[in-house]
């Protein structure tokens, strides 16, 4: 695969198999870590970047729980007659001719669109998608040290922040 530019006579070949050699373009055209120190520095940066991606995912989970609890959809229903969510309603035009009908109120299953919640949620998801694609570009170099660094960074980030990403779904009891 010839990746040469029209202004340059040098030819850059992409190695399409796992390798530990340097010289691959990492994320930017001008970033070519080739020495052992530069590759090690790039690996450290990728570990930190992958940990950051897991932190962003955790913050999405925390904010999702916050938005769910602060919206009116999750607040308890006010029922006048019975506290178990059943309300007695008389449907007869003349009082006390028919027995009262028990009506069960079902809470909404789909939350309403709230711009103050949904726009930041969408922006945060788009930012996380950007992080995913940057990590994917690093993996597509087939540089094994980069791939290992990303996997280690994702593992460390999940260990540190994974319990927050699920929000209120997981409970810890003594």
Domain span at residue 27? 1-71+117-166
Which pLDDT score, from 0 to 100, does residue 85 have? 52
Annotate the chain with three-state secondary structure: CECCCCCCCCCCECCCCCECCCCCCCCCCCCCCCCHHHHHHHHHHHHHHHHHHHHHHHHHHHHHHHHHHHCHHHCCCCCCCCCCCEEEECCCCCCCCCCCEEEECCCCCCCCCCHHHHHHHHHHHHHHHHHHHHHHHHHCCCEHHHHHHHHHHHHHHHHHHHHHHCHHHCCCCC
Block means of pLDDT (10 residues each) for the chain, 174 residues, are 51 75 85 92 97 96 88 51 51 57 70 90 96 96 95 97 72 42
pLDDT at 35: 92
pLDDT at 131: 97
pLDDT attached to residue 77: 47
Are 60 and 82 within one domain?
no
- Start-to-end C-alpha separation, the chain: 59
Q: What is the pTM of this model?
A: 0.69
Residues 55 and 124 in one domain: yes
In a domain, 112, yes or no: no
Q: pLDDT at position 128, please?
A: 96
Total domain count for the chain?
2
Whether 55 and 129 share a structural domain = yes
- Domain co-membership, 55 together with 128: yes
Together in a domain, 93 and 124: no
81 and 33 part of one domain = no
Residue 123 and residue 95 share a domain = no
């Amino acid at each position: 695969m010839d990746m040469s530019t029209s202004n340059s006579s040098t030819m850059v070949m992409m190695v399409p198999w796992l390798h530990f050699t340097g010289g691959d373009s990492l994320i930017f055209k001008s970033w070519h870590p080739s020495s052992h120190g530069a590759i090690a520095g790039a690996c450290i940066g990728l570990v930190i970047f992958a940990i950051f991606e897991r932190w962003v995912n955790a913050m999405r989970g925390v904010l999702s729980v916050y938005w769910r609890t602060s919206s009116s959809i999750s607040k308890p229903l006010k029922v006048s007659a019975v506290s178990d969510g059943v309300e007695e309603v008389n449907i007869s035009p003349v009082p006390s001719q028919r027995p009262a009908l028990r009506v069960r109120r079902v809470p909404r299953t789909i939350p309403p669109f709230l711009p103050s919640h949904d726009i930041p949620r969408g922006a945060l998801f788009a930012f996380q998608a950007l992080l995913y694609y940057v990590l994917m570009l690093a993996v597509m170099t087939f540089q094994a040290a980069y791939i290992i660094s990303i996997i280690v960074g994702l593992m460390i980030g999940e260990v540190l922040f994974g319990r927050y990403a699920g929000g209120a779904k997981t409970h810890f009891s003594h």
